[in-house]
Structure 1
Amino acid sequence: MSIVNDIRTAFSRRDNALNQLLLINVLVFAVLILIRAIFYFTGIGLYDDILRFIALPSNPVALMYRPWTVLTYAFVHEGFLHILFNLLNLYWFGSLVREYLGDRKLVNLYILGALAGAFLFVLSYSFVPVLQHAPATIVLGASGAVMAVIVGAATLLPDYTFNLIFIGPVKIKYIALAVVLISLAGVDGGNTGGEIAHIGGAMLGFLYVRQLQRGRDLGRPVQAVGDWVGALLSGRPRLRVTHRSRPAEDTTAPRKGKLVKPEQEEIDLILDKISRSGYESLSKEEKQKLFRASQK
């Protein structure tokens, strides 16, 4: 089928992280809809058990038996509007992160945001007095991971402008501030656990980009695990690199056929310039350096 081929093509490309994240969420949503319909018509009452198997529990003991849920919950949605708004935000803000930082940094931000949201959710229900005695619950949805992407994009490019319907041009730092305040305002409502996960993701998004601007990539463990899993699934052996002594050469000049990676200090300066004056203020040379750095 052409659909299967389209999906296979989307996942075979190495520079397609944003579409892959969107597609995983859509596929999980579609599969759950199909399972729910089948169980309804056949009278099988196991749908809630399947949902609990992949959603994140607030009870740490239950989490010990389902540790994978710290990540799987971030790809599970209930309701069309739930997934629609999450994926729209992921597409809009994820496109910015991907353009300026590259595919790997986008995946790092999404995964770390999901983990941070899960951590704050479980921690809150374990130690916050008003939540300790609350009934056990679960949380699901990409909102925590998407919040990390939103706040990460706003931290990287605070003055970048979106044209919102009925409102007009708005800087994304104000959009990020608004969504964080909405989450804070909703912690005493009917989605306490979800709002807490949002806040955890937002905090991670800010921290990740700030550390990246200082030359520290908090996502290196995510990349290492992803590379290992990719090599395992593809069946390709991991390459071992052996360094040999070579004659001295001029390292300042680019070698034909190879991209020369700009130094981290240069990238930090370029990112600071973007934060102050926007992407359009960069020279052609600075844009090329930023692009080459995103290929790492």
Structure 2
Amino acid sequence: MVAKLRPFQTIFQTMSIRREDFRRRDEWGEPIAANGWRGYIPSGLPVTYSGIILLICIVVFLISIIFPSFVYNYLALNPSYLMQRPWTLITHMFVHADFNHLFWNMLFLFFFGTELERRVGESKFLQIYMLSGIVAAFGQMIISSGSMVGASGALFGVLGCLAIIAPEIRILLFFFIPMSIRGAVVLFALIDFLTLGSSDNIAHMAHIVGLLVGLAYGQAIRRSPSYYWR
């Protein structure tokens, strides 16, 4: 069985992402280019790491429909073959078990990932995302030898980091329950903790570990005097 890394169906209550929000401002308030190679496509929409990750996940999902054996054998993370296929520590984050799994993870990435990248910059966002996903996978392997697919370990890291650096954010849980982002973190962590070892085919330990990585990274960012550039 393949453990799916799936966040809860949670979206922001309100969010407006504008083009100028993706530019840094220097100490005088003038916009300066954000670090990294990200640019703008002709339509004026920002090309972001969160958007690139979303696109890759969709492409990989389409490939998995046509070549399922290849994707699950060579891109999903199977602890038994990790030494032979170390790249799966990264590629498993782009593989999803079904459309529902992909849809909710990408919706989560679209809102939370975009917001985190806007706040901390693309370089730090990518570090948080990849580190959370990789460490979360190792955490899941401690309690399970089953294969893993999904981005939720990384996404929970994104959520944890946002909860530290932007506690004022409020969300609509399941689209209609208003809640602070920190309240959502506590709720998600509690649910995953209580369901550890269940047979629901969800990698709850990966959620918890990814969340802890994000919380720790958020604390490190907050202690840095130069991290805020709203």
TM over 0.5, shorter chain: yes
Question: What is the one-letter code of the residue matched to 1:122?
Answer: M
- 1:17-166 map, 5 Å: 17-36=49-68, 47=69, 50-59=71-80, 62-125=81-144, 136-164=145-173, 165-166=175-176
Q: Partners of 1:214 and 1:144 in 2: how far apart?
A: 24
CA separation of 1:57 and 1:209: change in aligned 2, threshold 3 A: same
Q: Partners of 1:50 and 1:212 in 2: how far apart?
A: 35
TM-score (norm 2): 0.73
* Greater Cα radius of gyration, structure 1 or 2: 1
CA separation of 1:171 and 1:50: change in aligned 2, threshold 3 A: closer
User: Is the partner of 1:65 in helix, strand or coil?
Assistant: coil
1:183: which partner in 2?
Answer: 192
Q: Partners of 1:152 and 1:192 in 2: how far apart?
A: 26
Preserved contact between residue 64 and residue 71 of structure 2 (Cα < 8 Å): no
CA separation of 1:149 and 1:172: change in aligned 2, threshold 3 A: same
Question: What is the one-letter code of the residue matched to 1:53?
Answer: Y
Q: Partners of 1:147 and 1:29 in 2: how far apart?
A: 21
Total equivalences in the alignment: 188
CA RMSD, Structure 1 to Structure 2 (Å)? 2.4
Preserved contact between residue 97 and residue 105 of structure 1 (Cα < 8 Å): no
Preserved contact between residue 94 and residue 151 of structure 2 (Cα < 8 Å): yes
Q: Partners of 2:76 and 2:172 in 1: how far apart?
A: 35
CA separation of 1:214 and 1:52: change in aligned 2, threshold 3 A: same
Q: Partners of 2:88 and 2:108 in 1: how far apart?
A: 23
Question: What is the one-letter code of the residue matched to 2:78?
Answer: P
Q: Partners of 1:147 and 1:174 in 2: how far apart?
A: 14
Question: What is the one-letter code of the residue matched to 1:108?
Answer: Q
1:155-196 Cα offsets, whole Å, 9 max, x none, are 1112211245332x3211111222222222221212467111
Deviation of 1:145 (Å)? 0.7
Q: Partners of 2:124 and 2:205 in 1: how far apart?
A: 24
Once structures 1 and 2 are overlaid, which stretch shifts more, 90-99 or 200-209? 90-99
1:284: which partner in 2?
Answer: none
Question: What is the one-letter code of the residue matched to 1:166?
Answer: F
Unaligned runs of 5+ in 2: 1-40
More strand by share: 2
Unaligned runs of 5+ in 1: 1-8, 37-46, 126-135, 216-264, 272-289, 292-296
Deviation of 1:122 (Å)? 2.4
Deviation of 1:100 (Å)? 1.1
2:13: which partner in 1?
Answer: none
User: Is the partner of 1:52 in helix, strand or coil?
Assistant: helix
TM-score (norm 1): 0.58
More contact order relative to length (CA 8 Å, sep ≥ 6):
2
Preserved contact between residue 144 and residue 201 of structure 1 (Cα < 8 Å): yes
Question: What is the one-letter code of the residue matched to 1:95?
Answer: T
Question: What is the one-letter code of the residue matched to 2:185?
Answer: A
Deviation of 1:98 (Å)? 1.5
Deviation of 1:92 (Å)? 1.4
Structure 1 residue ranges (4+ consecutive) displaced by more than 3 angstroms after TM superposition: none
1:13-60 Cα offsets, whole Å, 9 max, x none, are 985212111111111111111224xxxxxxxxxx2x64032111233x
Preserved contact between residue 152 and residue 208 of structure 1 (Cα < 8 Å): yes
